[in-house]
Amino acid sequence: MGEKIRGIRRLANQRPALLALLAQLAAIALIAAAVYLLTQLSPWRPSALAAGLVQGLLAASFGHWLGLPRWWWWLNLGFVPGLLLFSGAQLPSWVFLLGFAVLLVLNWNSLGERVPLYLTGSRSRRQLAALLARQPHGFSFVDLGCGPAGTLRGLARQFPAARFVGVETAPLPFALAWLRCRRQPNCEIRYQSLWRCDLAAFDVAYCFLSPAPMAALWAKACAEMPAGATLISNTFEVPDVPADEQVELDDWRQSRLLIWRLPG
């Protein structure tokens, strides 16, 4: 039994979408059976939205029990109720405008920089921490495009003697990052483009961007970072510059950490 649960938890790391689908289907089956029984045994008819909300709660709880990361809880909770709301209800047009505005301030850099928002996974975080443990005491680290700074804040807590900086230009992730890190004394969040961040001040620069900016970022790192400093890219390669070291993460995104030591 313990081995089965460990297997499911491994699957949650490697194929979270598949497990979320299973959680959804199991919750739909349970709710369908419960509604059928209810309608047979009593005159009470739950509304579609009420049934959807209970289904969402069940799916979120199943997903949590199966070991899905925390943010899947909200996705599982809102998926079916969201479908019901958007398919049936006559929503006022400002709801769609608001949805668009939220997507825009969240994914601000998708168009101009061709870098959308997605987050470093827990496996990458653990490997990053292992790499940082090799750095001298009091090192400095920058996350170039820190998003809502979950990774940055976690690392700052783990290495209290080191200095952590996150730069971000998407308004909503920046605001979340600033709020989350304001009480972490060794962590600073700047509303700043990564292209305006002087990398000379850092021993380690970390990025999880997209293929688009990697060549220019490499040129910037070579021009600014001191000899022996480290550039770590989650997943995306620098064209024609093989990494000095690679850490395979064996997760559902097939991510890896690519590590370069700067020539200076």
Q: CB of 49 within 8 A of CB of 84? A: yes
CB of 5 to ligand SAM, least distance (A): 28
3-state DSSP call for residue 248? strand
Q: Which stretch binds ligand SAM (CB under 6 A): 58-66, 69-77, 163-171, 241-249?
A: 163-171
Instruction: Among 62, 108, 141, 202, indicate the residue that binds ligand SAM (CB under 6 A).
Output: 108
CB of 189 to ligand SAM, least distance (A): 11
How distant, in Å, are the alpha carbons of 19, 106, 114, 140, 160 from that of 13?
A: 10, 25, 27, 30, 28
End-to-end CA distance of the chain: 54
Q: Which stretch binds ligand SAM (CB under 6 A): 83-91, 130-138, 162-170, 239-247?
A: 162-170
DSSP state of 9: H
Cβ nearer to ligand SAM, comparing 75 with 84? 75
Report how many residues bind ligand SAM under the rule CB under 6 A.
Answer: 23
Closest residue by Cα to residue 36 from 50, 27, 46: 46
Q: Is 142 exposed, middle or buried (0-12, 13-18, 19+ CB in 10 A)?
A: buried
Is residue 135 close enough to count as binding ligand SAM by CB under 6 A?
Answer: no
Angle subtended at Cα 124 by Cα 213 and Cα 103, rounded to the nearest 5 degrees = 55
Instruction: Among 209, 221, 247, 262, indicate the residue that binds ligand SAM (CB under 6 A).
Output: 209
Cβ nearer to ligand SAM, comparing 33 with 200? 200
Q: Which residue is nearest to ligand SAM (CB)?
A: 145
Residues 170 to 199 in contact with ligand SAM, rule: CB under 6 A: 170, 173, 193-195
Is residue 225 close enough to count as binding ligand SAM by CB under 6 A?
Answer: no
Q: CB of 142 within 8 A of CB of 204? A: yes
Residues 137 to 156 in contact with ligand SAM, rule: CB under 6 A: 143, 145-147, 151
The Cα 80–Cα 82 span in angstroms is 5
DSSP state of 237: P
Is residue 230 close enough to count as binding ligand SAM by CB under 6 A?
Answer: no
The Cα 191–Cα 145 span in angstroms is 10
Instruction: Among 65, 118, 130, 200, indicate the residue that binds ligand SAM (CB under 6 A).
Output: 118
Contacts with ligand SAM, residue ranges (CB under 6 A)? 108-109, 113, 115, 117-120, 143, 145-147, 151, 167-170, 173, 193-195, 208-209
